[in-house]
Each structure stands twice: as structure tokens, then as C-alpha cells.
Amino acid sequence: MGLFDFFKKKETAPEAQEALDKGLEKTKDGFFNKITKAVAGKSSVDDEVLDNLEEVLVTSDVGVSTTLKIIKRIEERVARDKYLNTSELNFILRDEIQLLLSENNSNDFRQFEYGDHKPYVIMVVGVNGVGKTTTIGKLAHKLKESGLKVVLGAADTFRAAAVDQIKLWGERVGVRVVAQAMGSDPASVAFDTLQSAVANGEDVVIIDTAGRLHNKIGLMNELGKIKQVMQKVVPGAPHEILLVLDASTGQNAFEQCKQFTEATDVNALAITKLDGTAKGGVVIGISDQFKIPVKYIGVGEKINDLQLFDKKDFVNSLFK
């Protein structure tokens, strides 16, 4: 059974959709106010409307590269249908964004399988303050609710607060936490966590890591060392390297994604704090530019507000 199936068992579609709609309210309001202004006084989609739309997308943090792709696609549709009017623009824009996301993320989460990996090892990376530990706690909660045995590894040993936070989440959701003294070798914590997970027959291991980007070489070396020691215990680990990004940082999230993807083999993204920002467009741009599946999105502060990312649901909610 896939992890996707585990989530769906516990989360009914209406509840998830309602949380998603609420979480995207700020992005939606800002986005549509800008589009309304972009087409004001215009009946047909002309060059001026397209220029205005380009500005709307860029200022909504979709990113320049992705915006230009979307505008080009709309231009081609306008060329094919000379009588395209501005009232149809929202539908066309929604279609083109959905198509773009589908093309860029063929490795969708719906096809992700838990498979034969036991334990399945997730290494979580990201700068401090993006909601990394909260995402780990919420993910552990979802998986435990589904009947999986989960263990957390507190390998961000440079901040006492990080270790304490992971321990608190462990207590809150009822999962085991492996931790050592502050300043311990992060690789040692990861090694211990995997060894104990194997001994205890646990299903999923989630390893937190330090979120420092001031020295990319140091980060690369540290993450590389953690991966090496984990593979001594579980060949092929980590199976998932999950990068957590904060949507509210806008363009800075793109830069963080660039830095971390250069430092390690990120193969999944979690984008948090969508409910607190009008910059939800970063989900579209990052998904497109980095070709890495967005697997989870954070749409609120409640423990169940970490959702599986569904491209179609996301775009439909944005244009609802």
C-alpha cells in the first residue's frame, strides 16, 4: 500500500478540500484582484492584457521562467482563436497551469509506493524557521494514525531548541525519538536511529537535519556523511530526501531550493505556511523549475493541516 493510500484512509476529501480552500484564501484574493485590474476595460485578450497578466504572475511569485512559459501558451491559444475574450481568461489560465504542472511532475505522489522498504527512511532538510520540525511532527502523526510504526531522529544537534522541539512532537503524537546530547555528531544520531528502527521493526524513520546554509560545502559534506552512515544500516537509505520550504518567503524559497538541490539529492518537496501568505504561486514556479515533486503542503496550524499535494485540486482551489 502506498503512503498516499495511508493518508487518504484517514482524511475525507471534503475536509481536506475545505482546509485547502481556506489555506489558499490569501493567495487567491491577491491573485484575482490583480487579474481583475489586468483586464479592466478590456473585452478581448490583446498584447496589453498579456503584458499585464505577465506582471500579475511574476508579482504572485510564480517566477519569471514559469510565467514566460504560461504566457507563451496563452499567446498560442489567442493566435488560434482570434475572438478570445477576457471573461475566458481565468479558465484558460487554470488549464495552462494544470497542464504545465502535469508535464513537469510526471512522478506524481499518487504513484509513490511505500514498497518493500522497511524501514522507509526520510531525511528532512531545510533552513531553520521554515517549519521543518513542525512538518516532521505532522507527518509522523499522519503515518502513525495510519497504523505505521514511526521513529524520529533528532540529528539537528547544533540547536538545543531543535532537539527539544522534536522531543515535544514525539510526545505529542506518541512516537519514539532518538536523541543525543547537543553538539553530538549528527551522523551518529542517524546511525543510532536506524539501528534501533531495524531492531524494533519500525516502518518509517524520519531524520531531522541542521538547517544551515552559510557554508554550502559544509552542508554538502555533513549531509553526505549522514547518508553514508545510514546506508551501512539500511542499504539505499535515505529513500526520500524531503526539502521543506516556506511559501511566505517567496523568491527566497527558489534560492533555498537551488542551494539544497546542489548540496544533496532532494527528491521531494514540502511547501509550508501557505495559509499565512499571498505567495502561494511559489508552488507553481518551484514545481515547474526544479522538476521535483511537491509531495506535501502546509495549509494551516492544526495537526491535520499537512496535506498531500494534488496538482489538480490545488489549481482548482486557486481558481474557485
Per-residue pLDDT of the chain (320 residues; tens, 9 = 90+): 455 454 544 454 678 889 999 999 999 888 888 888 888 888 888 889 999 999 999 988 999 999 999 999 999 988 887 667 778 888 889 999 988 888 765 454 543 345 578 899 999 999 988 999 999 999 999 889 888 899 999 999 988 889 999 999 999 999 999 999 989 999 999 999 999 999 999 999 999 998 876 567 888 889 999 999 999 999 999 999 999 999 999 989 999 999 999 889 999 999 999 998 889 999 999 989 998 989 999 999 999 899 888 888 899 898 88
- Is 209 annotated as belonging to a binding site? yes
- Is 249 annotated as belonging to a binding site? no
- Is 274 annotated as belonging to a binding site? yes
- Is 272 annotated as belonging to a binding site? yes
| pLDDT for 115 | 59
| pLDDT for 83 | 64
- Is 211 annotated as belonging to a binding site? yes
Write the Ramachandran bin of 278: left for phi over 0, alpha for psi from -120 to 50, otherwise beta.
alpha
| pLDDT for 140 | 94
| pLDDT for 111 | 37
| pLDDT for 33 | 83
Peptide bond into 235 cis (omega under 30): no
- Is 131 annotated as belonging to a binding site? yes
Distances in Å between the alpha carbon of 275 and those of 2, 78, 165, 207?
Answer: 27, 34, 22, 26
- Is 210 annotated as belonging to a binding site? yes
| pLDDT for 190 | 98
- Is 127 annotated as belonging to a binding site? yes
- Is 212 annotated as belonging to a binding site? yes
Specify the pTM.
Answer: 0.91
- Is 278 annotated as belonging to a binding site? no
- Is 133 annotated as belonging to a binding site? yes
| pLDDT for 217 | 80
- Is 132 annotated as belonging to a binding site? yes
Distances in Å between the alpha carbon of 213 and those of 257, 282, 287, 314?
Answer: 11, 20, 21, 30
The HSE-up count of residue 70 (CA atoms within 13 Å, CB side) is: 31
The sign of the CA dihedral 88, 90, 93, 97 is negative
